[in-house]
Amino acid sequence: MDDTSKSERTVLCGIRAGILAAFVAGIRRRNPGAVVNGVAAFALTYLPRLLERRFDVDLRGWQRTYLSVAMLAHAVGMLGLYDDDDRWWWWDHLTHTLSSTVLGGIAYVVADRRGRDPRRTVAVALIGGGVVWEVLEYGVHALTDRLGVDPVLVPYSARDTALDLLFNLVGGAVVVAFGDRLLENLLGDD
Q: pLDDT tens across 114-163, in order?
A: 889 899 999 999 999 999 999 998 998 899 889 988 877 777 788 989 99
Cα separation, 11 vs 134, in Å, equals 31
What one-character-per-residue DSSP string does 82-113 give? Answer: TT-HHHHTTHHHHHHHHHHHHHHHHHHHHHHH
Q: Read off the pLDDT band of 1 (50, 70, 90).
A: very low
Cα separation, 186 vs 177, in Å, equals 15
Cα separation, 21 vs 94, in Å, equals 21
pLDDT at residue 56 tops 80? no
- Can you say how many angstroms the Cα of residue 53 is from the centroid of all Cα atoms in its chain? 20
Q: What is the pLDDT of the chain when averaged over all its residues?
A: 87
pLDDT of residue 186: 54
Pick from 63, 33, 30: nearest CA to 49: 63
* Terminal CA-CA length for the chain: 13
Q: Which of 19-23, 59-63, 82-86, 100-104 has the lowest mean pLDDT?
A: 82-86
Cα separation, 59 vs 163, in Å, equals 30
Neighbour count for residue 175 (Cβ, 10 Å): 26
Q: Read off the pLDDT band of 80 (50, 70, 90).
A: confident
